[in-house]
Amino acid sequence: MTTEGGETVTASSPEGVSAGQYEARAISVNLALARIDDIRPSIEGSSFGTQRDFDRFLLDADGTSDKSHLGANLTLALSVAHIRAEAKGEGMPLWSYIREVMDLSKKTASLRLFSNMINGGLHGGGKLAFQEHIVVPRSLDLEMAIKQIGSIYAAEKTALKERYGPGATNVGDEGGFVPPMEDPLEPFVVMSAVCEQLGLTEDVDFALDAAANEVSIPAGDLFALYATLAEQFAMHAIEDPFEDVDFDNFALLKRQLNSKADHVLIVGDDLTATNTERMRLAKEKDSVNAVIIKPNQIGTVTEAIKAVRLAREYGWEVICSHRGGDTNDDFIADFAVGIMADGLKLGSPARGERVAKYNRLLKIADDMAQ
């Protein structure tokens, strides 16, 4: 996208590997290219004023409830390009411009990084039922957290190679290792041992993305597994512990795990889909105390910000997230810092599309220190 002032910006959309049924629809690349030609005359030479105005134009041009005409992949790429152009026009870093849009200049930063160490489920292709086994540094200093993640990832590679052989260090969709494990507790046993070896036991927590839509374990057994995880490991968050229609079991697990002194986040992703209607249902059932925000689940920056505002109204923690099928676009790093998210899922420090987000965070941390 090129502005009247000659500023050119680019944007690309990620794609979910385990996309939920309540997400906005993506369309094929060839169809998206045809659709952009349809709306090009309405965009070129036009002035839309604010980001909200531009995104409203996209919603009207799409005309569906799920972005199935233009496709959420096309609308998001256009939406991100537009807000990048706005930020450039104002001479501001993107994260700072987003923060101004959100009117969050006085909020204290609390961003924790969620790094996927071991992949399972659809992201791994092995025998582990659960999708993401995650380390979460407690440090809110981005440079320190990234340094700790890098150390853990390197030590994890060595430990897995020694225990299971070199094939265990192959990586899944988000850069996490794919060792020949079956026991759902085993990834956390290894991760805990690595953190202890590095002297980081008191510096990190763990998280699990169960992605239970793809899990065949009965609900009763899942409850027992999650209780064991919470008892044996420093679990900070459990994401999508049950299927995306099971509001009641989400709520029951939230009550059970938060009746103790340790606070465990029960996180909605496929359950809530960055969709305010789904979020309202989760609030009515008291199903979660945190929510994943993925802009491509809803299709525009404005709608993603609307979901963030609602989550804050409900008192939920906000965790931004990349996708299993991602690109080198680093927008999600600026977005997470800009909205003052409580967490950011960004995969392992491996593969270019994941490393791009880490590098952007380091640049943002440098900018903020100036």
**pLDDT, averaged in runs of 10, over the chain (370 residues):** 90 86 94 96 90 96 96 97 94 93 68 95 75 96 97 97 93 92 95 98 97 93 96 96 97 87 86 97 97 97 96 96 94 96 96 96 92
- Domain chopping of the chain, boundaries: 29-101, 104-369
- pLDDT for 261 equals 47
Sequence-ordered list of residues with C-beta below 8 angstroms from that of 51, at least 6 positions apart, any chain: 79, 82, 83, 86, 101, 301, 302
pLDDT of residue 260: 59
Using CA atoms, how far apart are residues 338 and 344, in angstroms rounded to an integer?
12
Residues annotated as part of the active site: 174, 294
Query: What is the rounded CA–CA span in Å between residue 266 and residue 237?
Result: 6
CB contact at 8 A, 145 and 132: no
The structure's pTM equals 0.95
Neighbours of 17 (CB within 10 A): 17
Tokens representing 354? 């994941």
Which pLDDT score is estimated for 123?
Answer: 52
Give the whole-angstrom CA distance, residue 306 versus residue 199. 41
Tokens of 193: 């041992």
Closest CA to 197 of 156, 162, 166, 169: 156
Distances (CA, A) of 358 to 294, 333, 351: 17, 8, 11
The CATH number of domain 104-369, selected from 3.10.20.30, 3.40.720.10, 3.10.440.10, 3.20.20.120: 3.20.20.120
